[in-house]
Chains A and B, each alone.
Chain A
Amino acid sequence: MSTSPLKRLVIGHLRGSVIPFTLPFEKGKKLTVIYGENATGKTTICDAFEFLAHGRVGSLEDRGLGKTNRYWHSVGKSASDVAVTLETAASTCTARVNRGEVVTVPPGTRPRVEVLRRSHILRLIDARPGDRYAEIARFIDVSGVEASEATLRELIRDLNSNRDTAVAIVQQNEEAIRQFWESAGKPGTDQIKWAEQESARDVSAFQVEQQALGKLRAAYQRVADYPEKITNANQTLDAARVAAAATVKHLEGVLANAAEGVGELVSILEAAKPYLEKHPNPAHCPLCESAEKVAGLRERVSSRVVQFASVQKAKRDKQVADQIVQAAERKLEDLKSDLTRDSKAFEAAKTAHQWQPSVPLPKQSCPIDLTALADWIKSTSQLSAEWQEAEAALQSQSQFVSTLKQALKTYKANVQAQKDLDRLIPRLVRALEIILDERRKFTDGVLKAIAAKVGDLYEAVHPGEGLNKISLELDPNRRASLEIAASFGGQLGTPPQAYFSQSHLDTLGLCIFLALASLDKPEETTLVLDDVLASVDEPHVERLIEMLHSEVIKFRHCVITTHYRPWKEKLRWGWLQNGQCHFVELTKWTTIGGLQLIRSIPDVERLRQLVAETPPDPQLVCSKAGVILEAALDFLTFLYECRVPRRLDGRYTLGDLLPALNKKLRDSLKVEVLSGSGTGGVPVYNTISLAPILEELARIAQVRNVFGAHFNTLSFALLDADAIGFGQQVLLLMDALTCPDTGWPRNSKSGSYWATAGESRRLHPLKQPT
């Protein structure tokens, strides 16, 4: 947002501006007072600021008009003709109506403007607590921090729940370990120490022993199977031998019944058969190489083989029976060999491990002789079952240690989790306490600052009335609800609406508005006060004006409209601290001319212009100088309580006032005029004695009446230079006595002189010399 000084406001066809109206702002002045009688267009100027800054026209609101934008433009124009431009030292911003919306060019350059209208002065006081809160929410809206605070509360709640769970699990773990401990016979004194010792045991030793037992038992089982296997093999061999003997006997019987040598013959025929299958028509006999009877040899050989089939079968049966016997013999031999191997393997398994004393082992080595083996197995048959039991015991022990170890691990993890939470949760709770504390202090601080500011402003207007103890408090039981209270009749905390007069309430409303505006980037804010002095009663209005003068310099600019005529006159005569004031006057508004501005300048400046004109007008110079001199003498005689003739109408002429400043007083009148500052910031003053000026004025004062008051032939005999000299002397007096920035020396707080604000003028003495 910009803080650059305002240069001019141009209003085109908004409300009363039937033709474009320009309000120039005087360089170096932060306060613009716009004086005008009713219906001169003051409110149109305020509307223009509001239109530019907020896209609305507040003066039309709350009048039962509904949507007001159809009344924004001036008579005979349309909404698209409306344009308001604010030119500053740094930029220019124009607002127009576009499709019912107010848009600014360039975009995003709306100035910060706070508008207070007479009709809205009680808005904050009369508002409901919730609406009142909305007005000041911009100062105390910490909803962002509140949202973060809520997540912290959520975390604390969740962690407390987690801690409760951890405590319960720790108890469960302790109970499980206690049960293990009790089942182990409660060794030692403490279940956890016991569990730690037990868990430290090497489970792998159990597993090694268990595996060794498994191997031993398997090796034993393999050896134990041999007696039965060998018996079976012997029986099979015996049976094979019997069968083989039977086939031999059968073959002998078959051969005995056949011709001698048939056995060999069958063999020869059998051997020839494959050859003849391959060579069905041989040229000669493959055996004797004779060609005799070679024809049909194949068929004849086949026929003879068939004839000897029983011999063949008997021979084949014998061969098969012999093969079976051989296989049975080999199997038996293999078993015996395997027994030797497995017997050695058992012995190896027995000696490969360092057995616990509790593990039973065979006293004798495993024999390889079948008979001895059978006895050995008989004597060791119970061992396998015992080894199996030992294995199961080892397995159980291993599982027990593993289970205990896991239970202890879970227990320790939960104890640690509990400890971690016990350290973390108090820190989070402390963080929450800090947030609550800081939030309360922040909100209270802001509200107190606003209330104090309101009180200070109010006290400046109503000093010593004891009504400045304003308090703003949030309702603890209702969110976003603000109560306002004041001191009345010594009683604190009373609602001002109940006891304050309308005028006091109006002042309070204005003070609240100014306080809020002054706390929110005042250097960027233009204040617009639309006729807010109207309801303030006369005794307080001057102090209110002074308060406004001293307050508005904190803002970027302040525009005050008023129809309070004494303000105009006091400004005209420099009776206020008007250094920052740019005074303008509006004349009667017309349907053709619209708003009309008069350049209002202080009378002293007007006199300076008249004196400087070429050629100067003696009559105008004398007339203006005479009035100013009357004002200066009126001020001095009043300040020093000089004697003047009493009159009913209280009117005094120069003839009354000039002699009232007697010689003693004139000689003592000196003004120190601030000219700058020396080393270390010490102010440097030039001293001007008023006596020579006043004496010269007394000498030439008659020219005022001759030139400036009436038609007088005496003027024919006087020089114009005399008239101009009178004007120049009055300017000398005024330049010495008054400061263009801070007015007249009215302050006697120093105790030794009269001073202007900022002591730019020091008038001596304080009292008329006796």
Chain B
Amino acid sequence: MAENRAELGCLMDTPSGQLASRILKRLIEEKLFRPADEAKLLSNLAEGKLKPEDWRLAIELAQSKEKKE
């Protein structure tokens, strides 16, 4: 956990990490992503590791959460 936090800290030192954080905040604000997914998607988004299926799953999970609510 501590290592993850350290990695996240290093990530946030990079422009990609900072931009990814802003993007995720907006996506969550607009309910396109679930807040619970933010941490696990941040590093993948910043490091270019988010695959098409990851995008789809994240959006569909938020969509299904919205439906339930």
Interface set of A (CB-CB < 8 Å, partner B):
138-148, 151-152, 154-155, 158-159, 423-424, 427-428, 430-431, 434-435, 437-439, 441-442, 446, 521
Contacts and interface: CB of A to CB of B under 8 A. Distances in A.
A446 B14 CA distance: 12
B19 A424 contact: no
The 4 closest A-B pairs by CB, nearest first: A147-B48, A144-B16, A155-B52, A148-B50
Nearest to B48: A147
27 contacts: A140-B15, A142-B16, A143-B48, A144-B48, A145-B16, A145-B45, A147-B48, A148-B45, A151-B50, A151-B52, A151-B54, A151-B55, A152-B50, A423-B63, A424-B59, A427-B32, A427-B63, A431-B32, A435-B23, A438-B23, A438-B26, A439-B19, A439-B23, A441-B22, A442-B18, A442-B19, A446-B15
Contact of A158 (B49, B50, B52): B52
B68 interface: no
A434 B59 contact: no
Nearest to A432: B55
A215 B28 CA distance: 67
A507 to B, nearest CB: 28
B55 A152 contact: yes
A442 B17 CA distance: 11
Interface string B26-49: 110010100000000000111111
Nearest to A152: B55
Interface residues of B, number: 30
B60 interface: yes
Contacts of A154: 52
A8 to B, nearest CB: 29
A442 B56 contact: no
A159 B49 CA distance: 20
A424 B60 contact: yes
A144 B46 contact: yes
Given A151-B50, A155-B52, A145 B20 contact: yes
A158 B53 CA distance: 11
A152 B56 CA distance: 9
A431 B15 contact: no
A434 B23 contact: yes
B51 interface: yes
A499 B66 CA distance: 59
* Secondary structure dominating the interface of B: helix
A405 B44 CA distance: 45
Contacts of A148: 20, 44-46, 48-50
B59 A139 contact: no
A430 B32 contact: yes
Contact of A142 (B15, B26, B32, B55): B15
B54 to A, nearest CB: 8
Interface of B: 13-20, 22-23, 26-27, 30, 32, 44-56, 59-60, 63
A521 B22 CA distance: 20
B25 to A, nearest CB: 9
A333 to B, nearest CB: 78
Contacts of B27: 431, 434
A688 to B, nearest CB: 49
Nearest to A155: B52
A147 B59 CA distance: 18
Given A140-B15, A143-B48, A145-B45, A431 B22 contact: no
B64 to A, nearest CB: 11
B16 A424 contact: no
A140 B55 CA distance: 24
A141 B15 CA distance: 6
A524 to B, nearest CB: 11
A437 to B, nearest CB: 8
Nearest to B43: A144
Contact of B48 (A146, A159, A424): A146
Contacts of A145: 16, 19-20, 23, 45-46, 48
B48 to A, nearest CB: 3
Given A151-B52, A446-B15, 16 more contacts: A143-B48, A144-B48, A145-B46, A148-B44, A148-B45, A151-B55, A155-B52, A424-B59, A427-B59, A428-B56, A435-B23, A441-B22, A442-B15, A442-B18, A442-B19, A521-B13
Contacts of A155: 52-53, 55-56
Nearest to A425: B59
Nearest to B11: A144
B42 to A, nearest CB: 11
Nearest to B45: A148
A146 B50 CA distance: 10
- Which of the listed residues A141, A424, A435 has the most CB atoms from chain B within 10 Å of its own CB? A435
B36 to A, nearest CB: 17
Contacts of B17: 144
B63 A424 contact: yes
Contacts of A144: 14, 16-17, 20, 45-48
Given A144-B46, A148-B44, A442-B22, A431 B16 contact: no
A430 B22 contact: no
A138 B15 CA distance: 7
A435 B22 CA distance: 9
A295 to B, nearest CB: 111
A438 B52 contact: no
Contacts of B13: 521
A396 B7 CA distance: 68
A519 to B, nearest CB: 11
A438 to B, nearest CB: 5
A423 B14 CA distance: 34
Contacts of B46: 144-145, 148
Contacts of B49: 147-148
Contacts of B20: 144-145, 148
Nearest to A138: B15
A145 B18 CA distance: 10
A437 B56 CA distance: 20
Contacts of A442: 15, 18-19, 22
B15 A139 contact: yes
Contacts of A423: 63
